[in-house]
Structure 1
Amino acid sequence: MTFKLATTAMVLLATAQIAQADKIKFEYWYGLTGDLGAVVAETCNRFNAAQADYEAVCVGQDGYEKAVQNTIAAFRAGKHPTLLQSFDAGTADLMLSGEFYPVTQLMADTGVTVDWADYFPGIANYYSSSKGEFFSMPWNSSTPVYYFNKDMFAKAGITEAPLTWEGMEAALVKVKESGAACGLAYAPSSWIDMEQFSMAHNVPVASNNNGYDGLDTELLYNTTLHVKHMENIKRWIDGGFATIRTQAAGKTARDSFVEGECAVFFSSIADHNTVHKLKPAFAWDVQMIPTYEGVERHNTVVGGASLWVLSGKTPEEYKAAATYLAFLATKEEQQFLLENTGYIPVTKSTYDALLAEGFYAKEPFINRDLAMKSLTFTEPGPLTRGIRLGGMIQVRSEWTSEVEAALAGQKPMKEALDTAVSRGNEILARFAQTYAGKSFP
């Protein structure tokens, strides 16, 4: 079921040339790029070839943030797409914009069937109302893990990948003592270091149960275990157990890992397929993100993106979009996505079927289901069902800029987090003022 990404452009051209003029077309704007973007384009080709009534016109937007920003600009000109792939950070803004067609309602109105009860709660909750109505359809879903070099661990005498942060620190010390150039390749990530860390430890990111219970919300992550965690990361960097690796610094954390320089890096499970394709010259594996000793582990939450149906389109375009969404929800298409990326199943039936088929017991898929175990480690609670904050893109940016300043020695980590929270709260206050009198449904 896999395909060669190099042929995608040719297939797209061929599809465009033979498209029937009487097909009902709808535009789909997506944010994924590179190999992952090519997989999105191929799902469009597969849909267009699978039936004769509709044509998905799929247009890459060079990143999730640009996809959202370009859609907002297109709305003003009346040239927005029917379907938008938006990442988790854009969820709250889209929910209160009013410019979307809830997918549960869309399917009911068009008579197209999707079994919404089949979706994992930890995925469904992020994109649903308090009453369980899906506003957007989960699709390319992920959660974070860490990747580790098994050969470097073995040389350092480490026999098991640690599940605690104390164990991780001890492992990084051993790796350095074994003569390795780099233990942890570290790239600051609010999604992993702040958001997912908080979920796994059941501590708040913000008040009002992480924003779900009201717009008068304030950030709290500068008052929780997150502060100690970021101070520890700074200490590891200063002690030579971790090294900052970012694109801006000349080499990404993933590159440092794949080249055999660093023993560990943290990323989305979506990177699993890419790491395999880069063919590291060593044995490697993945593990769930650690938690601190004495803290009861909780579930992580979904990352990636969902598909939003936007307002102002014709009934025919909506029927086409609904048909496409139902197509993507099938086991066959979920498996196609999983085989060609590192993403995870979004429905219980697909996951169960893959387990029964031995999907996760063979290369290159071994242990990818650790992401599923992380997502379903506990039932989602008030602090682990997700984050619903307006302006989340900007909130993340404030965290990143301040953490980078602290890591560069420009200020203490606690001061940096306090500043990031203060600026983030200004963003949340503006969002609340923009939507005064409204609440999340």
Structure 2
Amino acid sequence: MLAGATAPALADKTKIDFWFGNQGDIAQRVQDVCKHFNESQSDYEVVCTSQQGYANALQNTIAAFRAGKQPTVVQIFDIGTLDLMLSGAYYPVNKLMADNGYKIDWNDYLGGVRSYYATSKGDMLSMPFNSSTALLYWNQDAFKKIGKDAAPKTWEEAADDMKALKAAGYDCPMGIDVSHDEVWQLMEQFSATENQPVASLNNGYDGLGAELVFNKTSFVKFVTDLKKWYDDGLVKLKSAQAGEDYVAAFADGHCQMTLTSVGDHGQISRTASPDMHWSVAEYPIYAGAERKNSLVGGASLWVLQGKSPAEYKAAAAFLNFIAQPEQALWWSSNTGYIPVTKTGYDFMVKNGFYDKAPYKGREAAIQSLTASDPTPITRGLRLGGMPQIRQEVGNALQAIFANQTSVQQGLDDAVARGNTVLRRFELTYKGKQLP
């Protein structure tokens, strides 16, 4: 009787909760990952629940942790990294994996990815998951009409191309979005590729006392140029296109270039006309600048404190499953995201992933993230309140393009308001040291 009574308990799977922020089609792909893991073994079951947005995932996790009802694993977006780091509410992923018998070569992770989620000593605190970076999308058919067969490598060349496209009768040579949701593609990616700081103290990596400085860098020139190109009809804004989304505007052939995430590559592949020829390239830089690695966008997976050894064993198994090269191939095939490890990338190359449509060209994102070893500026951002800071920058850019303020004054105002956010964050975590 005793043996019979205990057998079902021994056979029970260890269940863990995984909360994630993705919505829509990507949310379904995350559910597929969970399903594949659950079907791959019989010891564990991961229950995956969308929190309907990255910000919601962070806020809900904080509330759940305070109530003692936190998930075992949670997906936190890139700009929420500092909040988790300073919370002390996590089980460092490098320690989790080692404690559960997994030998992970953390140096296998792409430098631009690894540096964002690691301590100053290089110890990984969370597991990179859905990663992206910004690229230049360009219409090869339109460029052929102006005698070009390659995307512009510099902003000077891009300006010449836009003028030629306008002269050739194209209404929208380039479409961009200056809303707060897309500020990262302009301010953060531009600053990284040009090795320009967004904030002092090496973008906050050296302490919570960092102050925003993007109003004193070549970002000012970039915004000035964008505004001039807009005034000259070479650049169109999402808000100035009667509600037309800038990604859709590129896919339907209205805009001949756009700056957006590699994560949109899949959507454009599905929605562009079959006879439209287009490709992607690395983010342009100014002539004379030395190209540096772009920043990783997306999110990583954090394992939270307060769980049992059995639950941590399940979490480690789940993260190890996700890290396999075969999963990198599946994930990239079914989303626009990129592999986060060299091994995963090499596996995809070996399997011909980048050789044919609709995936051909996505290797530009890997080239962008690995354009250089991360510098003290291009490791990423360690700034608190980044969602609010992006909101301030987005508001400033919209005011600049609407002629409500000058470029310099608009950026000065955004910096002043953003620094207020940073000082508030610093007070919240007074006395805390960055890991």
Compute the TM-score of the two structures, normalised by the length of structure 2: 0.94
**Matches of 2:258 and 2:26, distance apart in 1:** 20
Alignment pair present for 1:232 and 2:222: no
Rounded Cα–Cα distance in structure 2 between residues aligned with 1:72 and 1:348? 33
Structure 1 residue 153 displacement after superposition: 1.5
Residue 87 of structure 1, aligned match among 63, 69, 77: 77
User: Residue 291 of structure 1 aligns to a residue in which SS?
Assistant: coil
Does the Cα contact within 8 Å between 2:329 and 2:347 map onto a contact in 1? no
Whole-angstrom CA distance in 1 between matches of 2:291 and 2:385 = 28
Is residue 2:205 matched to residue 1:215? no
Counterpart in the other structure of 1:419: 413
- Equivalent residues of 1:156, 1:177 under 8 A apart: no
Q: Is 1:260 matched with 2:253?
A: yes
- Matched residues in 1 for 2:401 and 2:70: separation? 40
> Is structure 2 residue 401 aligned with structure 1 residue 407?
yes
Residue 374 of structure 1 pairs with residue 368 of structure 2: yes
State whether residues 129 and 299 of structure 2, in contact with CA within 8 Å, keep that contact through their aligned partners in structure 1.
yes
CA drift of 1:27 comes to: 0.9
1:291 maps to 285
Asked if residue 336 in structure 1 is aligned to residue 330 in structure 2, the reply is: yes
Q: Secondary structure at the match of 2:47?
A: strand
Residue 75 of structure 1 and its aligned partner are, at CA, apart by 2.1
Shift of 1:311: 1.6
Equivalent position to 1:383, from 371, 377, 388: 377
Larger mean CA deviation between 260-269 and 310-319 belongs to 310-319
Paired with 2:261 and 2:176, the residues of 1 have a C-alpha distance of 14
CA distance in 2, matches of 1:361, 1:270: 18
Query: What's the secondary structure of 1:126's corresponding residue?
Result: coil
Question: In the alignment, which residue of structure 2 is the partner of 1:323?
Answer: 317
Separation in 1 of the partners of 2:105 and 2:207? 30
- The answer for the alignment partner of 2:347 in structure 1 is 353
Q: Distance in 1 between matches of 2:293 and 2:318?
A: 31
Give the Cα–Cα distance (whole angstroms) in 2 for the partners of residues 171 and 182 of structure 1. 12
Superposed, 1:7-406 pairs within 5 Å as 22-188=12-178, 189-246=182-239, 250-281=243-274, 282-406=276-400
Cα distance in 1 for partners of 2:111, 2:253 equals 37
CA deviation map 1:138-183 (0-9, x unaligned): 1111111011111111123333210100111111111111111211
Answer yes or no: is the 8 Å Cα contact 1:406–1:412 preserved in 2: yes
> Cα RMSD over matched residues?
1.6
Aligned residue-pair number: 422
Q: Which amino acid aligns with 1:127?
A: Y
Post-superposition CA distance 1:199-230 (Å, at most 9, x none): 10011111001100111110000000001101
Distance in 1, matches of 2:396 and 2:433, equals 30
CA deviations 1:335-375 (Å, max 9, x no partner) are 11011112111111121232233321122211111111111
- Measured in 1, the distance between the counterparts of 2:288 and 2:301 equals 38
Greater alpha carbon shift after TM alignment, 325-334 vs 296-305: 296-305
Q: Which residue of 1 aligns with 2:6?
A: none
CA distance in structure 2 between the aligned counterparts of 1:408 and 1:437, rounded to whole angstroms: 42
- Counterpart CA distance in 2 for 1:191 and 1:324 is 30
1:21 positional shift: 8.7
Letter in 2 for 1:184: M
- CA-CA distance at 1:246 after TM superposition: 4.8
Tell me, yes or no, if the aligned pair for 1:204 and 1:220 is still in contact at 8 Å: yes
Whether the 8 Å CA contact 1:114–1:329 is kept in 2: the answer is no
Taking the aligned partners of 1:300 and 1:398, their CA distance within structure 2 comes to 22
For residues 67-113 of structure 1, the C-alpha deviation after alignment (integer angstroms, 9 at most, x for no partner) is 11221222232222111111111011110011111101111222234
Match of 1:6 in 2: none
| 2-structure distance, mates of 1:303, 1:275 | 19
8 Å CA contact 1:245–1:253 kept in 2: the answer is yes
Q: TM-score, normalised by structure 1?
A: 0.93
* CA–CA distance in structure 2, aligned partners of residues 408 and 317 of structure 1: 53
* Separation (CA, whole Å) in 1 of partners of 2:239 and 2:344: 35
Cα 1:412–1:21 change in 2 (3 A) is: farther
1:365-422 CA distances to partner (integer Å, 9 max, x unpaired)? 1111111111111111111111111111111111111111111221112111111111
Structure 1: 5+ residue stretches without partners: 1-19
State the identity as a percent.
48
The 8 Å contact of residues 111 and 369 in structure 2, kept in 1 or not, is answered as no
Report if the CA contact (8 A) 2:96-2:312 is conserved. Answer: yes
Give 1:128's aligned amino acid.
A
Cα distance, 1:249 vs. partner? 5.2
Runs ≥4 in structure 1, deviation > 4 angstroms? 246-249
Q: 2-side partners of 1:356 and 1:107: how far apart?
A: 28
Secondary structure of the corresponding residue to residue 173 of structure 2: strand
Q: Mind listing any 5+ residue stretches in structure 2 that lack a counterpart?
A: 1-9
Distance 1:79 1:21 in 2: 25
Contact 2:110 2:369 in 1 (8 A): no
Shift of residue 305, structure 1, vs aligned partner:
0.8
